[in-house]
Amino acid sequence: MAVGNRHRNFLNTATTPSTTTSHLTSPPHLQALYEYAAAAGASFVPFVQPVAERAAAEVEYKYHPSVREAAAHALAGCYKALVVAARAGPPITGEHVGQLLGALMKPLATALNHEREAAAADAMLDVFHDVLRFERETPLGVLQPTTLNAIVGLVKKQLEEDGKRTSERRQAAADDDDDDEPDEDELEAEFNLLSTAGACVREILKIGGAQALPTLETQLMPHINGWMAELSDDAHRSLALVAYADLIELAGKENMKKVVPPVLNTALRLATVATADAR
């Protein structure tokens, strides 16, 4: 059984999409696995290894983003099932959860960094959000500094990609290129992705508090601060304001003099130019 594997290589990550059974490339099947794992919790543990192996391969399936999205959901269900079992106590422990996380980090992070479809990227980043949230709620010792730094790097990458998309759209608008206009579904998927990135920031602050602020200031906040620019849109501004509120709430009293004035100055500056919703 997977949970009896005491070695670092929890998954057989040599599995590739070309060697998996064809029915697992179907998004409905992968989504059903996620829903079953999420509902079954610890009872799903015997199936964690085979399902996670297949899903870890499908998360880089190149022919359709819906497969990659569903595979990420399935990985989230596997991780949740093992966490639930570890919370209940032996024979499942935090060591087993750590083994699964260690096995998932490389394929999932690689897929996320290469992903260009927002919905699939959102599903992948949400797995890491679950890792942060579960560790905060019930510390199992799986979130090492290197892992946390890796997650920060993944969030940063998504913020950088958003900046590129925004810059390209502004250039297209300046060139009156109507063909590059995104549709509503695309914009919604991108908003959801950035919301998940913001949720990761909040969890990092909840875990690290004031100690997390220097890393966030240098790695993530420069991008989030850009969302408050006068040329920005209300969706980005609203996400930036949520991030600022999290900083004020969670970054520690000793950092208030550093955090609050820039937020207030930005809010006051935009009060006369933002829309009613943003105000």
Stronger pLDDT, 1 or 41, i.e. the higher one: 41
Instruction: Give one word for 275, left, alpha or beta, with left for phi > 0 and alpha for psi -120 to 50.
Output: beta
Residue 251's pLDDT band (cuts 50, 70, 90) = confident
pLDDT tens readout for residues 145-177: 999 999 999 999 999 999 999 888 888 877 776
Q: For tokens 């933002």, name the residue.
A: 274
Per-residue pLDDT at 229: 76
Which of 51-60, 103-112, 120-129 is predicted with the least confidence, judged by mean pLDDT? Answer: 51-60
Stronger pLDDT, 39 or 116, i.e. the higher one: 116
Whether the per-residue pLDDT at 2 is higher than 70: the answer is no
pLDDT tens readout for residues 15-36: 343 333 344 445 666 667 677 7
Residue 89's pLDDT band (cuts 50, 70, 90) = confident
pLDDT tens readout for residues 201-248: 999 999 999 899 999 999 999 999 888 876 678 889 889 889 988 998
- The pair phi, psi for residue 15, each rounded to 5°, is -60, 135
